[in-house]
């Protein structure tokens, strides 16, 4: 089976972190001199797989063949020696080094730097002109635009003699122009015999760039396809998978007054990247508005701004007749008082404190509420009663308020958070990824409760990466792309194919969407 | 390679591991004593007798413990917000200054029961103010609080030398000390108080502030675990991002926590200045602020643990002094070394024994299972 | 005129003498912190070095053996710091504090046990110490006004450890910025993941950095007890390790600026003794304590970002754990 025309062949790779199985029996091979794409939603196990290939983690089982030879990769050095280079999603660069120093690091040609520098300068000049990878070698890395920093990473790999280049979400931080330049570099690498593996969740890139594509879902490879034989719609469907359309017995919505208004909302983060670009929409009482989009297109920032955790740079928010402008000094507690509930996207980092007892986590964000406090002391029996009440109403198990939050399963943690945020019957409910990592039984339960909130007159904004969840829960779906709202569709006429298309390729395909509708 | 590890039972975590850590520290200390040519077990016996063997010894032990309770609580509350206040030494020093200024100004005019609360307040305010600048710089300017509090220890030391030499010194005296307070500004000694109810105990520096320290420990326990502010402090300490989600301001928590921490350290001045020395003098803090770090680490930042650890350290201080009489080869600085070893083993190397224990418990677990199956 | 020159020269010479241990400890701090390991234990290592050097010199009579023993002792403390913070990923500040306290207790305990002199070591004969060296040409230049004096009093006439301290600054600079090891060391203090993914061991790099710090503080401690003084006295490092830490921060973790910060702080120390009780025109009497506190105040001001910005290595204080 020693086929040297195959650059990489993975057989039966499995890896788990504690109880989470990140990779399950993964098999695929990449022929030499091709560009291979790996697609999948967040958490599908793509990055773990590539980290195994680069020796950052060791697989629990399985074999790796490089150029047809079985290769043991225990650490990065082994990977480098096997001719593998990797461009990580978060660049592995030393900010206050020059580009040249970063490229040399670990591949110096002697004890004294002067010699290494002159040697590297000559070598890099060659590489730069060969692949069109122009970088100012003597500029400080942090002063360079992101696209240039990425080229440093590519040069780093090539300087070490990489014949196989792995790129993890390389376009996440790039402008479209920079992305186009990257692609032409990758094509010229391919033409000179380098094998390229690109991890992405942007389908357009797969179609434009790759020769073959593997689709990952929940740690497994669900399809290996020739790019020419597939299309974005098929990939989107494969990526999302999960065809359990539940019958929720949802009544048609009956929208009443507007409870949440967002007008020309823009947000630029402290790295000067515009995350939201004049977004406007309304959510009515008695309606669920879903936000679809591939993660990283501004949905998280939108939720954080609406919940008061961040301040927008421009625009206006009106929640339940209370106005918030960029200059208002609001925080999450103040916004909650406007009758807002917020189920955060990241349960463990935000939604609760794992080291807290669950009755403490059950008042996170409401800890100042008079219900839980006497004049000075907290009221432990009221808190415990409240926690038990939440546990009962959402069937959280085990029903033990003094158990540490960390000791509950993901589904039970999520139910507790939902219970906490829904219990005050907020006028506006912001929900992020309500069923991520939650077992099937709990999903149905959670969905029913969200619909109950709607039927009781709340305005619900739902951000989710699960398309079927959006379609079955929401009444209207807004699609976000690169910080803008690029489309709106009634949930009753939406299907995954249409949505996938809108999400993947929205700005160029509006006409197609109309046709699809 | 990645065998699934079972978490340790709770009791192993909060009782077994601390005890193992202390035993490791004491073992190293014992080896040092052995190398010096003395018998470590004999030394231990002398120390225990010297610390608890007779009522005067107990008085001294608890007098030292009083200081450690204050500085230990100071370090612990900061740890709860994930802050490292290494400046207890300076805050205690300045707290003592506050007590002295108040008592020197008012001891002629006010009775004891008015002076006491005012002095406590003064110690707290001065200690808090000395912690306020490092706290502000951490919260709003991002300067590392460890470094700034260290620097403030030295600034405090220099400030106090200046004040004692130039301001508080008794005119004509060569000793940098203030005048002695009038005796209505003295805290009653424990042997006096026992005397009032007809019980005779030997005299020792132990005074009313031990009772104050116990009360403060209870208040701090209530504050940390039974108020919304303590809740917010712990939320920030465990997870800054979750606290942010809940709308708790990290900056405000840093300020609040450090002010309380400084106030607690400042209260050391009540014991030393108002309780024992009855005047302001140089270096009365004598490393108690640093001992507070050891006490907090050993007591797992819990007031009960801190009181127990403080008594242990009080015993080390007192028993160590006793040891020097009986074993002239060993000086009382051995106690300082033991203190350092305890910080090392229950702080920096706190979890060294954990993987071993996990294996051990895993082993027991599988043996039990086999028995059940068999 | 002559008098002013004499006073100036003797003050500057005193500055050099006082600065020497600061410089050595500051360079030690730079190695450690540039690799990402906070080193509060500079103070303890200076003290340990001073004690072991004085003890060894008292027993053997050889300053060189004393230096070797001191370095061995401080390197073991560095190993301990590394074991706790690199291998076991313990808190770096806690480990540093522990080492300082252990040393401050143990030096007295061992001193009393070994020498029975209340924690002091026996006074050393000159041949057991590092004594001032007269550089060649002092005689020759002595006739030249000013320059001759400067040469004789400022440049010549120090002991070998003083010159080693100066040399250490340039060696540190060269290692840090001109060698492969230095490049990797700086990288590991900024972004250990970058070093790890480049196939270099983060732990081994940090251990080496911390051990070099051990060597330098060993020299510094030796200087304090058997060159600057003639015996060990309890707690004789007297906060110099912390001043060195301040100087390192003040010099923004760079060798040459840190050296100048050491000079500044050493100069303040040297004049504070001279200024005691002196009335300056316009200012009046300057409190000695204010001058002595100046290094700490300056460091706080700098850290607060009110006068320039001291930016620490990015990965400092964080044990390296491969993230998921």
Average pLDDT score over residue span A84-92? 90
- What do you get for the CA distance between the two ends of chain A, in Å? 49
- The per-residue pLDDT for A1 is 46
Please give the angle made by the CA atoms of A508, A510 and A512, to the nearest 5 degrees.
Answer: 100
Provide the residue ranges of all domains of chain B, joining segments of one domain with +: 55-329
Average pLDDT score over residue span A436-462? 86
Could you tell me if B228 lies within 8 Å of chain A, comparing CB atoms? yes
Could you tell me if B218 lies within 8 Å of chain A, comparing CB atoms? no
- The per-residue pLDDT for C324 is 44
pLDDT tens profile A245-284? 556 677 888 888 999 999 999 999 877 788 999 999 999 9
Which tokens hold the place of B202? Answer: 């030997």
Average pLDDT score over residue span A82-103? 92
Q: What is the DSSP string of B248-316?
A: --HHHHHHHHHHHHHHHHHTHHIIIIIIII-S--TTTTTTHHHHHHHHHHHTTT-HHHHHHHHHHHHHH
Q: Strand, helix or coil at A430? A: strand
Q: Which residue has the higher pLDDT, B292 or B321?
A: B292
Give yes or no for a contact between B297 and C84, defined as CB atoms under 8 angstroms apart. no
Of C177, C194, C322, the CB nearest to A93: C194
pLDDT tens profile A420-448? 999 999 999 999 988 876 766 778 888 99
DSSP state, A432?
E
Give the distance from residue A326's alpha carbon to the nearest chain C alpha carbon, in angstroms.
Answer: 28
- The per-residue pLDDT for C44 is 97
Q: Are strands A212-217 and A35-39 parallel, antiparallel or unpaired?
A: parallel
Give yes or no for a contact between B60 and B207, defined as CB atoms under 8 angstroms apart. no
Cis peptide before A184 (omega within 30 of 0): no
Give the distance from residue C111's alpha carbon to the nearest chain B alpha carbon, in angstroms.
Answer: 9
Q: Which residues of B touch A364 (CB under 8 A)?
A: 235, 242, 245-246
Highest mean pLDDT among A2-16, A22-36, A320-334 belongs to: A22-36
- Give the span between the Cα atoms of A461 and A428, in whole angstroms: 8
Strand order, beta sheet including A274-284: A274-284, A258-268, A314-319, A322-324
Q: What is the ipTM of this complex?
A: 0.91
Helix and strand numbers (H, E) in chain A are 17, 20
Which tokens hold the place of B127? Answer: 């200690």
- Please name the residues in contact with B366: beta carbons below 8 A apart, sequence gap of 6 or more: none
- The per-residue pLDDT for A247 is 60
Q: Which residues of A touch B228 (CB under 8 A)?
A: 367-368, 372-373, 378
Under-50 pLDDT residues of chain C: 324
Q: Which residue has the higher pLDDT, A105 or A179?
A: A105
Q: Which residue of A has its CA nearest to B219?
A: A377
Residue A241 confidence class, pLDDT cut points 50, 70, 90: low
Q: Which residue of C has its CA nearest to B347?
A: C94
Of B1, B222, B241, the CB nearest to A349: B241
- Give the span between the Cα atoms of C4 and C25, in whole angstroms: 32
Radius of gyration of chain B (CA): 23
10 Å CB burial of residue A493 (0-12, 13-18, 19+) is exposed
Which tokens hold the place of A92? Answer: 């592995």
- Give the span between the Cα atoms of C293 and B97, in whole angstroms: 18
Nearest to A494 by CA among A468, A461, A512: A468
- Give the span between the Cα atoms of C96 and C102, in whole angstroms: 10
Contacts 24+ apart (CB under 8 A), A56-60: A56/C196, A56/C197, A56/C322, A57/A15, A57/C322, A58/B1, A59/A13, A59/A14, A59/A15, A59/A23, A60/A14, A60/A15, A60/A16, A60/B1, A60/B2
In residues, how long is chain C?
324
Distance between alpha carbon A340 and the CA centroid of its chain, in Å?
A: 25
Does residue A507 surpass a pLDDT of 80? no
* Angle between the N-to-C axes of helices B145-163 and B112-141, in degrees from 0 to 180, rounded to the nearest 10: 140
Could you tell me if C196 lies within 8 Å of chain A, comparing CB atoms? yes
- Give the span between the Cα atoms of A367 and A400, in whole angstroms: 19
pLDDT tens profile B18-43? 889 999 999 999 999 999 888 999 99
**Residue-range domains of chain C with CATH:** 2-123+136-303 (1.10.3470)
Could you tell me if C229 lies within 8 Å of chain A, comparing CB atoms? no
Give the distance from residue C203's alpha carbon to the nearest chain A alpha carbon, in angstroms.
Answer: 14
Does residue A510 surpass a pLDDT of 50? no
- Please name the residues in contact with B298: beta carbons below 8 A apart, sequence gap of 6 or more: B18, B21, B22, B305, B309, B312, B342, B346
β-bridge partners, A462: A290, A431
- Give the span between the Cα atoms of B125 and B127, in whole angstroms: 5
Domain spanning B55-329 has what CATH number?
1.10.3470
Yes or no, beta carbons of C178 and A113 under 8 Å apart: yes
Does residue A100 surpass a pLDDT of 70? yes
pLDDT tens profile A187-207? 999 999 999 999 987 777 888
- Please name the residues in contact with B116: beta carbons below 8 A apart, sequence gap of 6 or more: B187, B274
Could you tell me if C235 lies within 8 Å of chain B, comparing CB atoms? no
Could you tell me if C178 lies within 8 Å of chain A, comparing CB atoms? yes
Q: Strand, helix or coil at A270? A: coil
Q: If you average pLDDT over every residue of chain A, what do you get?
A: 87
Give the distance from residue A149's alpha carbon to the nearest chain C alpha carbon, in angstroms.
Answer: 13
- Give the span between the Cα atoms of B149 and B133, in whole angstroms: 9
- What do you get for the CA distance between the two ends of chain B, in Å? 28
- The per-residue pLDDT for B321 is 85
Which tokens hold the place of A275? Answer: 């995350």
Strand order, beta sheet including A35-39: A84-87, A164-168, A195-200, A35-39, A212-217, A220-226
Give yes or no for a contact between A66 and A83, defined as CB atoms under 8 angstroms apart. yes
Percent of chain B with pLDDT over 90: 78
- Give the span between the Cα atoms of B257 and B259, in whole angstroms: 5
Of A18, A364, A372, the CB nearest to B246: A364
- The per-residue pLDDT for B366 is 65
- Give the span between the Cα atoms of A332 and A320, in whole angstroms: 15
Q: Which residue of C has its CA nearest to A91?
A: C194
Q: Which residue of C has its CA nearest to B293?
A: C94
Give the distance from residue C191's alpha carbon to the nearest chain A alpha carbon, in angstroms.
Answer: 6
Percent of chain A with pLDDT over 90: 52
User: Which of B141, B159, B333, B335 has the most C C-beta neighbours within 10 Å, making it the best mutation to test the interface with C?
Assistant: B333
Of B150, B155, B341, the CB nearest to C297: B155
Yes or no, beta carbons of A114 and C178 under 8 Å apart: yes
Average pLDDT score over residue span A133-158? 91
Yes or no, beta carbons of C183 and A88 under 8 Å apart: no
- The per-residue pLDDT for A513 is 42
Beta strand spans in A287-328 (E)? 287-292, 314-319, 322-324
DSSP state, B364?
H
Q: Which residues of A touch B231 (CB under 8 A)?
A: 360, 363, 367, 378
Average pLDDT score over residue span A95-123? 92
- Please name the residues in contact with B215: beta carbons below 8 A apart, sequence gap of 6 or more: none
- The per-residue pLDDT for B368 is 62
Which tokens hold the place of B123? Answer: 């110690």
Give the distance from residue A418's alpha carbon to the nearest chain C alpha carbon, in angstroms.
Answer: 27
**Residue-range domains of chain A with CATH:** 6-240 (3.40.50.300), 258-351+426-516 (3.40.50.300)
Does residue B343 surpass a pLDDT of 50? yes
Annotate A33-76 with three-state secondary structure. Answer: CCEEEEECCCCCCHHHHHHHHCCCCCCCEEEEEECCEECCCCCH
**C-alpha neighbours within 13 Å on the C-beta side of residue A11:** 11
């Amino acid at each position: 089976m020693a086929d040297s025309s195959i650059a990489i062949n993975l057989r039966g790779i499995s890896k788990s972190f504690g109880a989470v199985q990140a990779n399950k029996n993964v098999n695929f091979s990449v022929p030499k001199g091709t560009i291979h794409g790996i697609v999948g939603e967040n958490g599908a196990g793509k990055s773990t797989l590539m980290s195994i290939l680069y020796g950052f983690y060791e697989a629990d089982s399985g074999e790796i063949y490089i150029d047809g030879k079985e290769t043991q990769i225990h650490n990065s050095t082994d990977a480098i020696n096997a001719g593998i280079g990797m461009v990580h999603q978060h660049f592995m660069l030393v900010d206050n080094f020059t580009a040249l120093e970063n490229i040399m690091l670990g591949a110096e040609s002697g004890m004294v730097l002067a010699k290494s520098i002159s040697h590297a300068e000559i070598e890099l000049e060659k590489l730069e002109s060969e692949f069109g990878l122009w970088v100012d070698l003597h500029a400080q890395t942090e002063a360079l635009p992101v696209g240039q920093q990425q080229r440093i990473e590519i040069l780093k790999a090539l300087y070490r003699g990489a014949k196989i280049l792995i790129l993890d979400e390389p376009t996440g931080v790039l402008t479209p122009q920079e992305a186009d330049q990257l692609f032409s570099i990758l094509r010229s690498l391919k033409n000179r015999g380098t094998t390229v593996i690109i991890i992405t969740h942007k389908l357009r890139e797969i179609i434009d760039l790759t020769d073959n594509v593997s689709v990952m879902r929940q740690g497994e490879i669900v399809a290996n396809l020739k790019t020419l034989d597939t299309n974005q719609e098929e990939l989107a469907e494969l990526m999302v998978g999960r065809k359990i359309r539940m019958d929720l017995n949802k009544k048609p919505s009956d929208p009443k007054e507007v409870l949440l208004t967002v007008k020309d909302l823009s947000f630029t983060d402290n790295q000067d990247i515009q995350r939201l670009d004049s977004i406007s929409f309304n959510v009515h009482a008695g309606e669920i508005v879903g936000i679809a989009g591939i993660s990283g297109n501004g949905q998280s920032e939108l939720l954080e701004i609406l919940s008061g955790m961040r301040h927008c740079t421009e625009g206006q928010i009106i929640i339940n007749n209370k106005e918030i402008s960029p200059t208002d000094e609001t925080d999450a507690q103040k916004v909650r008082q406007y009758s807002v509930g917020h189920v955060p996207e990241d349960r463990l980092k935000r939604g609760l404190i794992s080291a807290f007892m669950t009755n403490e986590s059950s008042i996170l964000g409401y800890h100042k509420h008079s219900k839980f406090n006497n004049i000075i002391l907290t009221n432990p029996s009221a808190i415990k009663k409240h926690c038990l009440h939440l546990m009962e109403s959402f069937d959280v198990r085990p029903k033990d308020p003094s158990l540490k939050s960390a000791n509950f399963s993901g589904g039970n943690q999520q139910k507790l958070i939902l219970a906490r945020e829904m219990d005050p019957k907020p006028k506006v409910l912001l929900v992020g990824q309500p069923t991520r990592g939650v077992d099937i039984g709990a999903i149905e339960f959670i969905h029913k409760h969200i619909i109950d909130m709607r039927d009781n007159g709340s305005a619900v904004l739902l951000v989710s990466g699960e398309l079927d969840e959006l379609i079955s829960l929401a009444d209207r779906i807004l699609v976000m792309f690169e910080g803008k709202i690029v489309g709106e569709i009634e949930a009753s006429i939406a299907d995954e194919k249409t949505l996938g298309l809108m999400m993947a390729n929205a700005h160029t395909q509006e006409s197609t969407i109309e046709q699809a509708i | 390679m990645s065998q699934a590890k079972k978490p340790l039972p709770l009791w192993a975590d909060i009782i077994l591991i601390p005890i193992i850590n202390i035993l490791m520290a004491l073992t190293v200390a014992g080896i040092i004593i052995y190398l010096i040519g003395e018998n470590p077990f004999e030394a231990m016996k002398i120390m225990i007798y010297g610390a608890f063997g007779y009522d005067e010894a107990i008085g001294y032990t608890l007098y030292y413990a009083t200081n450690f309770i204050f500085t230990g609580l100071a370090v612990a509350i900061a740890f709860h917000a994930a802050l490292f206040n290494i400046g207890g030494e300076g805050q205690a020093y300045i707290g003592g200054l506050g007590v002295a200024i108040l008592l020197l100004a008012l001891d002629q005019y006010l009775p004891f029961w008015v002076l006491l609360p005012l002095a406590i307040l003064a110690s707290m305010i001065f200690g808090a103010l000395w912690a306020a600048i490092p706290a502000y710089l951490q919260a709003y300017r991002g300067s590392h609080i460890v470094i700034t509090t260290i620097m403030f220890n030295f600034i405090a030391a220099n400030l106090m030398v200046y004040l004692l030499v130039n301001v508080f010194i008794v005119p004509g005296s060569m000793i940098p000390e203030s005048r002695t307070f009038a005796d209505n500004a003295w805290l009653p000694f424990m042997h006096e108080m026992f005397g009032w109810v007809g019980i005779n105990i030997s005299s020792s520096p132990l005074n009313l502030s031990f009772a104050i320290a116990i009360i403060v420990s209870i208040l701090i326990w209530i504050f940390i675990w039974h108020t919304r502010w303590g809740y917010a402090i712990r939320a920030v300490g465990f997870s800054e991002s979750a606290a942010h989600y809940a709308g708790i301001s990290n900056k405000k928590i840093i300020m609040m926590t450090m002010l309380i921490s400084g106030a607690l350290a400042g209260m050391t001045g009540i014991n030393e200045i108002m309780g024992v020395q009855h005047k302001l003098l140089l270096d009365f803090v004598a490393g108690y602020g640093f001992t507070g770090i050891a006490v907090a680490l050993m007591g797992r930042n819990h007031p009960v643990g801190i009181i127990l650890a403080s008594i242990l350290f009080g015993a080390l201080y007192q028993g160590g002094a006793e040891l020097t009489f009986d074993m002239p080869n060993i000086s009382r600085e051995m106690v300082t070394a033991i203190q350092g070893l305890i910080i090392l083993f229950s702080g920096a190397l706190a979890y060294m024994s954990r993987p071993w224990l996990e294996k051990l418990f895993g082993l027991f677990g599988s043996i039990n299972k086999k028995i059940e199956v068999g | 005129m002559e008098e002013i020159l004499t006073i100036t020269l003797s003050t500057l010479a005193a500055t050099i003498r006082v600065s020497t241990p600061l410089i050595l400890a500051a360079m030690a701090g730079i190695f450690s912190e540039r690799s990402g390991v906070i080193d509060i234990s500079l103070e303890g290592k200076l003290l340990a070095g001073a004690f072991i050097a004085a003890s060894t010199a008292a027993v053997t009579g050889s300053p060189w053996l004393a230096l070797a023993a001191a370095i061995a002792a401080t390197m073991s403390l560095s190993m301990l710091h590394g074991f706790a913070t690199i291998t076991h990923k313990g808190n770096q500040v806690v480990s540093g504090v522990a080492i300082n306290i252990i040393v401050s207790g143990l030096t007295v305990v061992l001193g009393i046990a070994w020498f029975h002199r209340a924690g002091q070591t026996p006074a050393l004969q000159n041949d057991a110490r590092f004594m001032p060296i007269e550089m060649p040409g002092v005689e020759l230049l002595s006739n030249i006004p000013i320059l001759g004096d400067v040469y004789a009093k400022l440049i010549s006439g120090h002991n070998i450890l003083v010159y080693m301290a100066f040399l250490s600054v340039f060696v540190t600079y060269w290692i840090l910025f001109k060698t492969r090891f230095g490049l990797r060391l700086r990288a590991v203090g900024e972004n250990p993941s970058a070093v790890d993914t480049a196939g270099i061991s983060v732990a081994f790099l940090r251990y080496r950095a911390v051990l070099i710090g051990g060597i330098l503080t060993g020299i510094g401690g030796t200087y304090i007890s058997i060159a600057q003084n003639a015996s060990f006295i309890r707690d004789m490092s007297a906060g110099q390790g912390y001043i060195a830490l301040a100087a390192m921060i003040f010099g923004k973790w760079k060798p040459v600026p840190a050296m100048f910060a050491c000079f500044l702080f050493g100069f303040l120390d040297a004049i504070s003794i001279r200024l005691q009780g002196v009335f300056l025109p316009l200012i009046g009497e300057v409190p000695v304590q204010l001058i002595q506190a100046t290094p700490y105040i300056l460091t706080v001001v700098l850290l607060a970002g009110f006068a320039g910005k001291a930016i620490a290595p990015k990965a400092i204080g964080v044990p390296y754990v491969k993230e998921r």
